Structure 1
Amino acid sequence: MNISRITAGAVTVLVLLSMVACRREKGGVAAAESAAMPQVSVIALHSQPVPLTGELPGRVVASLEAEVRPQVGGIIQKRLFTEGGEVRAGQALYRIDPAPYRAAYDNAVAALQKAQAGVPGAEAKADRDRDLVAQNAISRQDYEDAVDTLAQNRASVASARAAVETAKINLDYTIIAAPISGRIDKSSLTPGALVTASQTTALTTIHQIDPVNVDLTQSSTSLLNLRQAISAGRIKASGTSISVSLRLENGTVYPLAGRLEFAESNVATATGTYTLRATFPNPDRLLLPGMYVRAIIEEGTAQHAFLIPQRAVSRNERGEATALFVRHGRVDQRVLSADRSVGNAWLVESGVSEGDQVIVEGSQMVREGDAVSPVNVSLDAAGDVTDQAPAAGKQGGAAAKSSSTGVPDNEAGRG
């Protein structure tokens, strides 16, 4: 009887010990599996309206440009402006020897006075002959001759007056004035040089550079893609007034914004591009004609788009853009329709959903289908991780500050 009880107790103890050992073994396996599961950093994607800009190459062009040429011939007596300085419209630039033109003007004035002197006598004779022909004292022919003489004298006066005006114009042209306001170039001739009317060689050139124009070139393919996206409703156009900003040759941004004025209605057959023109204020004369710039144009807004940092995107063997996501605790690789960059991120309008978790760090240690432990992170402007928080472990889990509030300006390639 005692032996049976002892045997039953021993069996019970052995069963309990086996259960405890089994539980410990299972816990150890689970802990080992959890410890072996790689940890990856993820951000949650959220759709948002994204302003779209295009960067186009261009050249600065003066808004007005005038070549200065003489309109009468003669010897240049004096240059009246400072080379490279600012001039006003109507300001005197050169003085040509006026002596021959002043003499011609005086001669024309004298000829006018002579013509005017013959008019009163002709008028009096015509009046007398009108009374006499009414009394049949003279012939009708004599009266008509007197009327003709008066008309000729009056025509001579009009011709002489026109000659005076011409002589006055030529005399005024001996002072060569600025046709527009702006910055003037160097003079091609010095005092003492002989010039002729409407010569091919310009004396100097004036450029109006406030405001200044910027001529831009864009491919016709980009224009077609933009218009098709607007027609499909993926992009909302910026409107009629389009703002433009400039990036200068040294990489700095021009502080004043401009506006797009017009686009040409034809495409260049040789290059497949068309020209746009923007206008910028230039009070400090920082922009000079011929300067190379890059213009940033507001094209519109993608209403429901996702921004994926370039560090999370790579290319497969077919050249397609791909990214790794965490779905139900496992790695999921997807091909993205990322054909446009916004800053240092790719704009994606399809292939992803709200709350999808994209891997931004640790992608080199995992492959598609691997079980991973995701950690939500935030990225600063340099692309560095600023904070971490354990992820919910499933798609759509709560994320820390995600890229929906800002796009990191980091280089392409996965972390």
Structure 2
Amino acid sequence: MKTAIRLSIILFSGIVLASCSGKDEKAAQAAAGQPQPYPVFAVTTQETTLDSDYPATIEGIQNIDIRPKVDGFVERIYVDEGAVVRKGQPLFSINAPQYEQAVRTAAAAISSAEADVNAAQLQVNKTKPLVEKDIISKYELEAAQLTLQSKRAMLSQARASLANAKINLGYTNITSPVDGVVGSIPYKTGSLVSSSSAQPLTTVSNTAKVYAYFSLNEKQLLDFSNVYNGKNLAEQMRNIPPVSLVLADGSSYAQNGRIESINGQINTSTGSASLRATFPNPVSVLKSGASASVRIPQHVKNVILIPQKSTTDLQGKKFVYILGDSAKVMNTPIEVMEITKGKFYVVTKGLKAGDKIVLEGFQSLKDGTKIKPEDKNTDSVYAEIK
């Protein structure tokens, strides 16, 4: 019995010793710092296009407020909101009887003035032969001629009054001044309107072309002017490639536009300058007042791009792990452009073509750590930007 107990104790002690020996071996290996595998790739220069998006507001090339020029009641509305109208097409009719009466009064005044002119002409005709025969003084003829001249002036004034009355009467029929789309119509039939009304009858927007207004801050404007060649602003605008429009739903507008205007003065309150891009709008997809983003392309050559996941941020700076001699990594600061290419940074300083950097999974790495590099195919890394 005692022999069996001794044997059991010996076996248990052996097992414990073996276990401790295994743990010591693993600890020794960990302490030895065996290199861990990390994916690395060689950076190369690329040729690509960078896109910059700027919030924009869409406006028609003409947004015309339709206001009455005379006082009266809205008698008829010939169009509906959102209707496409042509230049000269009737929009509203205003009931203003006073202008019809003014036309009749002016017409009657012309008839009276014409009668006065005829009477004055008869007096001149009667006086002239008497003066020639020295029957009456020549001053009588001069007086008759002056009266005729006065009556003719009064006739001209009456005709001008009739023309003005007809113009005012014509204002009661309101037509579209341009081709365009009708906006909201706040006044309904029977509403009293006047030239001093706060709201217009409607707005007609000519959207055959549209303007996209957007802004650049002072730094962006300087960068913008440095990117495109030209002796002056007009030449630089001609060298800007066609721009695209990103709609509110994220889709791209089918037709490209061009930047045609850059405000030369920076707004002191906002610190930005306004730019205007023009886009064709043949089927009226773009509406005045809509929001979108103007996308400006910038073609760059011989630049180094790296995945954003290959960088770390520390105190506002970006770092990458470069594979150095003896398979040791160096935590190296880099500088990148503000504009990104999808999930890639454009490196402006800190890397050169051929450098190998750790692709990902380096959270536990430290500067000077030796790793076991696993080379990744460079083309597969850059596949996303092709």
- For the pair 1:90 / 2:67, whether they are aligned, the reply is no
**Runs (5+) with no aligned partner, structure 2:** 1-33, 230-235
Distance 1:378 1:362 in 2: 17
Distance 1:325 1:73 in 2: 79
Aligned to 2:318: 321
Distance 1:190 1:362 in 2: 68
What displacement does 1:42 show?
A: 3.4
- Matched residue type, 1:339: M
Distance 2:237 2:180 in 1: 33
Aligned to 1:4: none
Distance 1:309 1:69 in 2: 58
Q: Is the 8 A contact 2:59 2:288 kept in 1?
A: yes
Q: Equivalent residues in 2 for 1:11-160 (5 A)?
A: 37-97=35-95, 99-120=97-118, 122-123=120-121, 125-126=123-124, 136-160=134-158
Query: Superposition RMSD on alpha carbons, in Å?
Result: 3.1
**Runs (5+) with no aligned partner, structure 1:** 1-35, 232-236, 380-385, 387-401, 409-415
What displacement does 1:131 show?
A: 6.5
- Overall identity of the aligned pairs, in %: 28
Distance 2:299 2:130 in 1: 93
Distance 1:309 1:179 in 2: 55
Q: TM-score, normalised by structure 1?
A: 0.72
- For the pair 1:407 / 2:385, whether they are aligned, the reply is yes
Distance 2:316 2:191 in 1: 67
Q: Is the 8 A contact 1:39 1:362 kept in 2?
A: no
Q: Equivalent residues in 2 for 1:280-319 (5 A)?
A: 280-298=279-297, 300-316=298-314, 318-319=315-316
How many pairs were matched up?
A: 345
Secondary structure of the residue aligned to 1:342 is coil
Distance 2:187 2:220 in 1: 48
What displacement does 1:165 show?
A: 0.7
**In structure 2, do the counterparts of structure 1 residues 333 and 197 end up closer, same or farther at CA, with 3 Å as the change threshold?**
closer
Q: Per-residue displacement from partner, 1:218-273 (whole Å, max 9, x unpaired)?
A: 22222234445669xxxxx6744542222233322223222223122322333322
**In structure 2, do the counterparts of structure 1 residues 180 and 356 end up closer, same or farther at CA, with 3 Å as the change threshold?**
same
Q: Per-residue displacement from partner, 1:148-189 (whole Å, max 9, x unpaired)?
A: 122212212211111111111122111122233322234322
Q: Per-residue displacement from partner, 1:249-299 (whole Å, max 9, x unpaired)?
A: 33222232222231223223333222222222334443334433222123x
Distance 2:285 2:178 in 1: 20
Q: Is the 8 A contact 2:228 2:240 kept in 1?
A: no
Aligned to 1:394: none
- For the pair 1:356 / 2:355, whether they are aligned, the reply is yes
Aligned to 1:412: none
**In structure 2, do the counterparts of structure 1 residues 289 and 230 end up closer, same or farther at CA, with 3 Å as the change threshold?**
closer
Q: Is the 8 A contact 2:38 2:371 kept in 1?
A: no
Aligned to 2:218: 220
Distance 1:45 1:132 in 2: 116
Q: TM-score, normalised by structure 2?
A: 0.77
Distance 1:44 1:239 in 2: 38
